[in-house]
């Protein structure tokens, strides 16, 4: 989708006059259903040359964009191209541009550096959808909106409880005016408008998608359900974050200092952020290390669970009991509850050497700097580190080197005090 670069579209605005505007009086000037007049007032008088349109090109977007085309088809329209949209949405962007004659549509994309740092595998939406939205939507939009005195949204009162008091005009905490021409439109009003003006539907609307965002976080809405019930289904999340103002409810990407998983030479975001808790459903949890005894008691349910899962091995657990099912787990966490308890080393060696487990093998618990070289020798390739000196040692590459050991690993190492010819030959191991 070829669109102009957003970086040079607008200069820094001067918001000094905005707080002086009588927003409350302004909201009483227009009929509730006269969205076109609201938009025209904002675009030609209140914020002439200083107004941006933000559109998701979702199920209802044609209504607002049709109004934009009536007022001024050259108004800047910004589409948040998150990289996670349905292909049908990208096609719909082109359809509406052509049908409505919109000539200034720009795709905003996430910063590649942010993606590489926080979502290198592209699956952050599964474990931390708030941060995913922040990286892919909020951050790119903030950069562009910094150059405008106001912006237009397609939000409506009926959509969520939080939007139930939405006015036509809002004054945000950063001295910008947010304009909501469709604030008082109901679902029926939106559909009637589309029919009256012969607007093309989003290709997914007829298939049951009543509110359409990124593909991984959008599901079909059943008859009688709230139109936005298909967004982030099953999660305590109702907004992507671009509309949060005073409440600050959106999670920022996790600072490096808060990352605790060390893997492949760096501290990275940990997808297995949910610790198993009593009452969790083994058939439905995701990105959770399930304790080995719990797995054995619920084996069929866990094996049928479609989500990524891990296994938690504690001291005393019999790893051999799960040998045949190890491939089911994307990660195995070996618990080291205390420095003096070394049973985790034996469990790690069983997993990596005898059972040839090839997934992520991580150490959790009391993970300290002088243990990590020994853990690595036993096949552990990831470490959850909460001890600050250990963290600094990993970051600085200053871990101790262990050259003398009493317990050999594999068939090539010789423990101190043992003559080489007494070791098993490689071919007979």
Catalytically active residues are: 240
DSSP 147: T
What do you get for the CA distance between the two ends of the chain, in Å?
59
Tokens of 67: 């109004």
Tokens of 118: 């926080």
- With contact defined as beta carbons under 8 Å apart, do 187 and 211 qualify? no
Q: What angle do CA 205, 206, 212 make, to 5 degrees?
A: 15
Helix (H, G, I), strand (E, B) or coil at 310: strand
Name which of 200, 162, 158 is nearest 63 in CA terms. Answer: 200
Mention every residue, 6+ apart, whose C-beta is less than 8 A from residue 264: none
Pairing of strands 360-365, 382-384: parallel
Helix (H, G, I), strand (E, B) or coil at 60: coil
The beta-carbon contacts of 296-305 under 8 Å, at least 24 apart in sequence, are 296/321, 296/322, 299/325, 302/328, 303/328
Pairing of strands 382-384, 261-263: antiparallel
Tokens of 87: 């292909």
Task: Tell how far CA 161 is from the center of its chain.
Answer: 23
Q: What share of the chain is helix, strand, coil (3-state, %, to 5)?
A: 35, 15, 50
């Amino acid at each position: 989708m070829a669109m102009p670069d957003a970086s040079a579209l607008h200069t820094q605005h001067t918001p000094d006059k905005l707080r002086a505007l009588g927003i409350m009086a302004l909201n009483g000037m227009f009929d509730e259903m006269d969205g076109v007049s609201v938009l025209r007032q904002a675009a030609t008088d209140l914020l002439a040359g200083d107004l941006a349109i933000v559109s998701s090109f979702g199920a209802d977007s044609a209504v607002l964009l049709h109004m934009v085309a009536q007022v001024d088809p050259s108004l800047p329209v910004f589409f948040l191209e998150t990289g996670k949209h349905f292909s049908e949405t990208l096609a719909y962007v082109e359809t509406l541009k052509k049908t409505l004659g919109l000539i200034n549509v720009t795709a905003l994309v996430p910063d590649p550096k942010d993606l590489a740092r926080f979502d290198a595998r592209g699956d952050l939406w599964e474990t931390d959808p708030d941060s995913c939205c922040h990286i892919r939507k909020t951050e790119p939009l903030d950069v562009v909106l910094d150059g405008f005195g106001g912006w237009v949204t397609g939000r409506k009162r009926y959509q969520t409880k939080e939007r139930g008091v939405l006015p036509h005009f809002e004054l945000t905490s950063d001295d910008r005016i947010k304009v909501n021409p469709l604030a008082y439109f109901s679902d029926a009003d939106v559909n009637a408008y589309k029919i009256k003006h012969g607007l093309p539907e989003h290709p997914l609307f007829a298939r049951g998608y009543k509110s359409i965002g990124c593909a991984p976080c959008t599901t079909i809405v059943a008859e009688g359900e709230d139109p936005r019930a298909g967004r982030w289904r099953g999660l305590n999340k109702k907004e992507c974050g671009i509309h949060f103002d005073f409440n600050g409810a959106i999670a920022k990407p996790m600072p490096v200092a808060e990352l605790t998983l060390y893997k492949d030479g760096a501290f990275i975001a940990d997808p297995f952020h949910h610790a198993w808790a009593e009452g969790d459903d083994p058939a439905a949890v995701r990105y959770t290390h399930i304790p080995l005894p719990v797995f054995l008691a619920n084996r069929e349910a866990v094996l049928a669970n479609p989500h990524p899962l891990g296994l938690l091995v504690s001291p005393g657990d019999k790893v051999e009991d799960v040998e045949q099912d190890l491939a089911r787990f994307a990660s195995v966490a070996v618990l080291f509850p205390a420095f003096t308890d070394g049973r985790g080393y034996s469990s790690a060696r069983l997993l990596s050497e005898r059972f040839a487990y090839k997934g992520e093998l991580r150490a959790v618990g009391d993970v300290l700097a002088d243990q990590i070289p020994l853990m690595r020798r036993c096949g552990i390739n990831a470490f959850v580190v909460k001890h600050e000196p250990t963290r600094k040692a990993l970051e600085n590459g200053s871990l101790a080197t262990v050259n003398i050991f009493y317990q050999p690993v594999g068939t090539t190492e010789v423990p101190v005090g043992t003559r080489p010819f007494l070791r098993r030959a490689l071919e007979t191991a």
